[in-house]
Structure 1
């Protein structure tokens, strides 16, 4: 199983789930479980914070792409390449290139499980007032001075000992005023 690597397959937009199902059926029918180990349509859980309430939704992380963990050989290449809805492997020319561990990590894929890290969307902007919902600063109101989407945190100014102090707070721990 050391030869199995993650590859990216380009599909027609909207066909990602059909491609996943078709490849899985073909793997089962042709008994290729030892060559094509996993087919993944990358989904991310997005938490949207609007009007102080949290809503969770699943969104395609890479529309038009499917990730496949497989042992690359003629049989597995043929099965994937000739699946309805697949336009080809991602890579230069006709030779598929596997993802490197750092590329997989940057996508947020947890290798043993194939799960993706959840993301939170925050609909506030710099200058908005927010109330902190939990932690040491619970019920404190402050003004947003910066938003870091990557770390999923806000920096807000709160009043402490008579002066403004910057504090970092997670998106999910605040409510817009």
Structure 2
């Protein structure tokens, strides 16, 4: 099964919660662990949530063409998908599930084409998104302002995804995504 499912959204839209739900519901999926140069947040663990490396190591991997896609989201804050990670999951006979930023999602869809289902998780509004980021308590107010400004830019790309799911009511978003995945995985 050489398929991939791509989840992208502005920070704080509930994307990670929805990806974790999919992993619990669908045994044929496996999470692609991205590389990043940002610091871990909360309970995140190296090698489980992300491969945390420094910017110099990341740039070395770029030069080695080790990534399917990568992006410098903020200065020296890189995110990327390792080719070896995708190959490992496919070798296990599973479909890959990605939790990536919007530019990464667009790049992955272009790379994988029809093997990919790309889903944009839309917040109910930018104001609601800002409240979620504040409630999360992982970022200072300046970082939240930066994330909200970036969210406005990212939402402009929503139509480049195969599906848009508004995450207003979490249970409704879960059901909608389950149906999308059932149809995609059986095709």
- State TM-score, norm by structure 1: 0.25
The answer to which structure has the higher strand fraction is 1
Scaled by the length of structure 2, what TM-score is found?
A: 0.24
Q: Report which of the two structures shows the higher radius of gyration computed on alpha carbons.
A: 1
